[in-house]
Amino acid sequence: MGFDFKEISPYDRPKAAKTTNAKKGDVMTNDAQANQLPHVVVIGAGFAGLAVASALASSPVRVTLIDRRNYHLFQPLLYQVATAALSPAQIAQPVRSIVRRQKNCTVALGEVVGIDAVHKTVRGHAGEIGYDYLVVATGAAHAYFGRDDWAAVAPGLKTIDDATHIRRRVLHAFEQAETTEDENLRRALMTFVVVGAGPTGVEMAGAIAELARHTLRGEFRHVDPAAARIILAEAGPRVLVAFPEKLSNRAHRDLEKIGVEVMTGKGVSDCSAEHVVMDGETIPCRTIVWAAGVKASPAADWLGAAADRAGRAQVAPDYSLPAQGDVFVVGDTAALTDAKGRIVPGLAPAAVQAGKYVGRVIHARVTGAAPPAPFVYRDDGTMATIGRGKAIALIRGFGFGGFIAWWMWGVIHIMPLVGFRNRVVVAIDWFWSYLTHARGARLITAPKDKGADL
């Protein structure tokens, strides 16, 4: 980006610059007053970062919200972009538009490369910005457990670009299968391997199965897309291990019903452009989707903070760093066991709760009020979707599956979408897909020089 953070915030500008226009007198006074206020810099406009910023809307602070993308992404639905059901814009909303009414919040587009905790500055590619309080909410990326060379052949699913990349690979595989004469190649092209049976892996496998068995039916003349093999590989003993065994088993059966081969207890020992090796067995395939693990963004490194095995910073009960009380780490970048002894999970609701909490902590610090009680994660329930009409849910110890769970999953995932229009349009898209199996975003788009990436 070549971004100069010095230029981002009005608060860091030399005062001289403010005297150039006499007509702006009143505003200048306000600006000058505003400049006295503590500066809260939030890195990352995901669920946690946005929650912090909006929790500070009425606080006597200036907020600068930095992200390297111009949009907030509703990550729980990203797999629907990867499988051509939704368009990127339907699950992404410009950050500026979300905070447009919050006058104490400035948005900066740029990438952070480091943090200087001594001088209290955030470094961008070509400059830096000072802070009084810093909130790091930079999320997580894929973890290949030391095999980073697999990233090229087994893309993960964290960004819009990841999703359109996977969409392109999956759709291209069917196109190539339609045209090849080589039976072995065709079989490899029609084999899709999803590694990792957490919620993302289960959703991806289920959605690829539906794409093959229903959406593409009747569209090819030489191959039957329904003959595609969709393999869900899981090193652990069962799918969706965060759920009770009974629900896991139900999800397992549901996956098999919609045509996914579930292989539990099978560790992946090699990935290449032509095959995956599981438990000694080599399976020729051309599309691998990685959903086996995440590691936190390098924020703990930047901060010199203690981190757990997944790279998440160890934080105090109020999400501050033990050694740097004016720095907070929140969301998927932080590791915390809450006041009730439960590990805060890497889920969107937890990130929102933690973000709001950190907002309250900072508000208390700047106003001198009593700090809030230590953070307690409120588990409103977790759910995972498997496919059309199939999901499992666990709400306050009550587990159930089937159509009702799926319907609830849909409502719960549509409601938080930013913007009324997106809610309506996504609901229509889903309802239409449900009726017809059609998927509305089956575009193979790529810059021309990228056309040969398969």
Active site residues: 203
Q: Scan residues 125-184 and list those touching a second copy (CB under 8 A).
A: 160-161, 164, 171, 175, 179-181
Binding of a second copy by 416 (CB under 8 A) = no
Which CB, 66 or 263, lies closer to a second copy? Answer: 66
Binding of a second copy by 23 (CB under 8 A) = no
Binding of a second copy by 434 (CB under 8 A) = no
Which CB, 68 or 229, lies closer to a second copy? Answer: 68
Which tokens is 47 given? 């669920």
Binding of a second copy by 269 (CB under 8 A) = no
Which tokens is 198 given? 């957490």
Listed ranges 237-245, 305-313, 329-337, 428-436: which one lies at the site for a second copy (CB under 8 A): 428-436
- Using a 10 angstrom Cβ sphere, with 0-12 exposed, 13-18 middle and 19 or more buried, the burial of residue 448 is exposed
Binding of a second copy by 448 (CB under 8 A) = yes
Least separation in angstroms between CB 70 and a second copy = 5
Which residue is listed with tokens 């009702």? 404
Residue of 382, 287, 377 whose CA lies nearest to 341 = 377
Which CB, 97 or 249, lies closer to a second copy? Answer: 97
Binding of a second copy by 41 (CB under 8 A) = no
**Interface with a second copy (CB under 8 A), residue from 25, 265, 322, 451:** 451
Binding of a second copy by 92 (CB under 8 A) = yes
**Interface with a second copy (CB under 8 A), residue from 47, 71, 131, 357:** 71
Listed ranges 52-60, 95-103, 303-311, 364-372: which one lies at the site for a second copy (CB under 8 A): 95-103
**Interface with a second copy (CB under 8 A), residue from 80, 90, 248, 297:** 90
Least separation in angstroms between CB 332 and a second copy = 20
CA distance 87 to 422: 11
Least separation in angstroms between CB 416 and a second copy = 17
Least separation in angstroms between CB 9 and a second copy = 9
* Contact by Cβ (8 Å): 345, 384: no
Binding of a second copy by 445 (CB under 8 A) = yes
Binding of a second copy by 351 (CB under 8 A) = no
Binding of a second copy by 119 (CB under 8 A) = no
Pairing of strands 229-234, 320-321: unpaired
**Interface with a second copy (CB under 8 A), residue from 4, 132, 224, 338:** 4
Least separation in angstroms between CB 90 and a second copy = 7
Listed ranges 22-30, 91-99, 239-247, 273-281: which one lies at the site for a second copy (CB under 8 A): 91-99
| Terminal C-alpha separation, the chain | 28
Around Cβ 221, how many Cβ atoms within 10 Å?
A: 6
Which CB, 343 or 424, lies closer to a second copy? Answer: 424
Binding of a second copy by 421 (CB under 8 A) = yes
Binding of a second copy by 373 (CB under 8 A) = no
**Interface with a second copy (CB under 8 A), residue from 57, 220, 293, 389:** 220
Least separation in angstroms between CB 425 and a second copy = 5
Which CB, 7 or 379, lies closer to a second copy? Answer: 7
Number of residues near a second copy (by CB under 8 A): 63
Centroid of chain to Cα 276? 25
**Interface with a second copy (CB under 8 A), residue from 35, 97, 272, 314:** 97
Least separation in angstroms between CB 23 and a second copy = 14
Binding of a second copy by 385 (CB under 8 A) = no
Which residue is listed with tokens 């007198």? 25
**What's the per-residue H, E or C state across the chain?**
CCCCHHHCCHHHCCHHHHHCCHHHHHHHHHHHHHHHCCEEEEECCCHHHHHHHHHCCCCCCEEEEEECCCEEECHHHHHHHHCCCCCHHHHEEEHHHHCCCCCCEEEEECCEEEEECCCCEEEECCCEEECCEEEECCCEEECCCCCHHHHHCCCCCCCHHHHHHHHHHHHHHHHHHHHCCCHHHHHHHCEEEEECCCHHHHHHHHHHHHHHHHHCCCCCCCCCHHHCEEEEEECCCCCCCCCCHHHHHHHHHHHHHCCEEEEECCCEEEECCCEEEECCEEEECCEEEECCCEEECCHHHHHCCCECCCCCEECCCCCEECCEEEEEECHHHEECECCCCCECCCCHHHHHHHHHHHHHHHHHHHHCCCCCCCCCCCCCCEEEEEECCEEEEEECCEEEEHHHHHHHHHHHHHCCCCCHHHHHHHHHHHHHHHHHCCCCCCCCCCCHHHCCCC
Binding of a second copy by 109 (CB under 8 A) = yes
Sites of contact with a second copy (CB under 8 A)? 1-4, 7-8, 10, 13, 17, 69-71, 87-90, 92, 94, 96-97, 100-101, 106-110, 160-161, 164, 171, 175, 179-181, 216, 218-222, 419-422, 424-425, 428-429, 432, 438, 440-448, 450-452
